Amino acid sequence: MSGTARPASGRAGMKKELPEHFRAYRHVWVFVEVEHGAVHPVSLELLGEGRKLADKLGAELAGVVLGGEERGLRDAVTAAWEHGADLVYLGTDPVLDQYRNEPYTRAMTQLVNTYKPEILLLGATVLGRDLAGAIATTLLTGLTADCTELAIDDERSLAATRPTFGGSLLCTIHTLNFRPQMATVRPRVMAMPRPEPGRVGRLVPFRPELREEDIVTKVLRYLPDRDSDKAQLAYADVVVAGGMGLRSAENLQLVRNLAAVLRGEWGGSRPLVQKGWMTADRQIGQTGKTIRPRLYIAAGISGAIQHRVGVEGADLILAINTDPKAPIFDFAHLGVVADAVELLPALTEAFGRRLA
Ligand code: FAD
C-alpha cells in the first residue's frame, strides 16, 4: 500500500510560490561518515543512490568528508569518487578531529550555505541521526528520516518514501518550500554500488570557521566498543533467525548453533525482543535491522510485512515453517514445511560435517 503526505491538488499552486533563490540550490550531496579513518558502508550505499538521483536531475553528485586533517581522510575521498561522486567537499579543521555534534553541524551548515545543495543525504546511523536533525533544525529545512525509497518526481522534487502508521502504510514526503531537501536512510536499505577502482573526481577543500573555545563539548577519551557479542547483523553474509515458532527462549540456542556452524550472525523477529528472549540489537525488520545477507534462514517466522521489509534484500531466503500457507513462503526462495525445532539441529549437524 502506499499513500502520500502531499495534498493531491496543492502541488502546482505551491510550486509557483517557491522563492526565486531556490534556483541557486543545485546538486546532490551525501555526507560521508568517517570515524577513526573508516568510512561507514551506508555512506557508500547512499552514494550509489545519490548517483541515480543526480543523473535524473542532470546534476552533480558530491560527497562531503569532514575531519581533523587531510592526510587521514584520503581513503574516504577515494572511496567517494570510486562509488560515484563527481566531487568531494573536504572540510578540515583540528576541531573536527573526532565527531561532536556542534562543530560538525557548524561545518555542514557553513558548507550548505556556501555551495547550496538541492538534496542532502545522510546514513541513519547513531552519528547520522544526531547530525541530520541538528543540520535540519539549524537550516530550518525539512528532513525525512529512515527512508526506504528515494526518487525524483516530474517536478524535480525529492520524493522520500518511508513507512508510517506503524508500518501499515508507506508515505511519500516532499520538502516543497525549503532547501536543501534532506533525508536519512538506514544501513543496508539501499544496495551497495559496484565501485570503479581508479575513478577520480574533483576535490574542493573547505576550511570551516571554527574555534575550539566556542564548542562546549570536549572529548576526554575515546573508548572503542569492545563488546564482541554485539550483533553485526546488517553486514553479515549469513543470518539465521528465529521466530515465535521456536516456542521457547531455550530453543533460540538452536538458531545460534546453526549460525555458528555457518560462521554467520543470528537474530529474530520482534516478539522475541518483547518476550525478553533476545536483545533489541538482534531484531530484524522494519523497526529492527535491515539485512542483505547472501543467505537468510528464517525458522518459525511467519513473514509479516514488518519482518519482510527487513529481509527481502537477501540473495537467498530459506524459510522453515510448519504452516504451508505462512506468508513467508510468498517471498522465500526455498521453503521447507517442517518443525524448526527438529530441522535446525539436523541442518547444524549436516553443515557442521560439510564445513568442518
Ligand atoms: P508469529 O506471527 O506468531 O508466527 C510464528 C510462525 O511460526 C507461524 O507462521 C507458525 O506457522 C510458525 N510455527 C509455529 N510452530 C512452528 C514450528 N515448530 N516450526 C516452524 N514453524 C513454526 N516484526 C519483526 O519481525 N520485525 C520488526 O521490525 C517488526 N516491526 C514492527 C513494527 C510495528 C509498528 C508493528 C505493529 C509490528 C512489527 N513487527 C515486527 C511485528 C510483526 O507484525 C509480526 O507480529 C512478527 O513479525 C511476528 O513474529 P513471528 O513470525 O515470530 O511470530
Write the pLDDT tens digit of every residue in 115-167: 999 999 999 999 999 999 999 999 999 999 999 999 999 889 999 999 887 76
Atom of ligand 1 nearest to the CA of 339: 19
Residue 109: CA count within 13 A, CB half-sphere: 19
Q: Is the pLDDT of residue 55 over 50?
A: yes
Give me the pLDDT at residue 29, please: 98
Residue 321 marked as a ligand binder? yes
Ligand 1 site, residue 180, Cβ cutoff 6 A: no
The annotation status of 287 as a binding-site residue, yes or no, is: yes
Does ligand 1 come within 6 angstroms of the Cβ of 34?
A: no
Our mutation pick for probing the ligand 1 site, out of 248, 307, 337, counting the most ligand atoms within 8 A of Cβ, is: 307
Percent of the chain whose predicted confidence (pLDDT) is above 70: 92
Average pLDDT over residues 32-51: 95
C-alpha cell of 257? 548453533
* Mutational test site, ligand 1, from 258, 274, 286, max ligand atoms within 8 Å of CB: 286
Mean per-residue pLDDT, 219-246:
86
Interval between CA 112 and ligand 1 midpoint (Å):
43
Dihedral through CA 136, CA 141, CA 145, CA 151, nearest 10? -130
**Lowest mean pLDDT: which of 15-24, 67-76, 90-99, 188-197?**
15-24
Our answer on whether the CB atom of 164 is closer than 6 Å to any ligand 1 atom is no
Closest residue (by CA) to atom 15 of ligand 1? 245
Residue in the block written with cell 545543495: 117
pLDDT at residue 291 in the model: 96
Residue 2 has pLDDT above 70, yes or no: no
Average pLDDT, the chain: 92
309 C-alpha vs ligand 1 centroid, how far in Å? 13
pLDDT band at 3 (very low <50, low <70, confident <90, very high): very low
* 12 CB neighbour count, 10 Å cutoff: 8
User: If you search the block for the grid coordinates 550483533, which residue do you land on?
Assistant: 231
From the CA of 80, how far away is ligand 1's center (Å)? 39
pLDDT at 243 over 70: yes
Check whether 306 has a pLDDT greater than 50: yes
Q: Is the peptide bond before 271 cis (omega within 30 degrees of 0)?
A: no
Residue 252 Cβ inside 6 Å of ligand 1? The answer reads: no
Q: What is the ipTM of this complex?
A: 0.99
Ligand 1 centre from 304 Cα, in Å? 6
* pLDDT mean over 232-238: 93
Distance CA 263, CA 260 (A): 5
Mean pLDDT value of segment 199-219 = 96
Q: Quick check: 227 pLDDT over 70?
A: no
Q: What is the pLDDT of residue 5?
A: 46
Query: How many whole angstroms from 100 Cα to the centroid of ligand 1?
Result: 39
Q: Which of 252, 322, 329 to mutate to test the pocket of ligand 1 (most atoms within 8 A of CB)?
A: 322
Q: In angstroms, what is the span from residue 183 Cα to ligand 1's centroid?
A: 29
Predicted structure pTM score: 0.85
Higher pLDDT, 269 or 72: 269
Confidence of residue 9 (pLDDT cuts 50, 70, 90): very low
- Ligand 1 centroid to 191 CA: how many Å? 25
Nearest alpha-carbon partner for 92 in 117, 67, 111: 67
Is the pLDDT reported for residue 1 higher than 60?
no
Residue 319 has pLDDT above 70, yes or no: yes
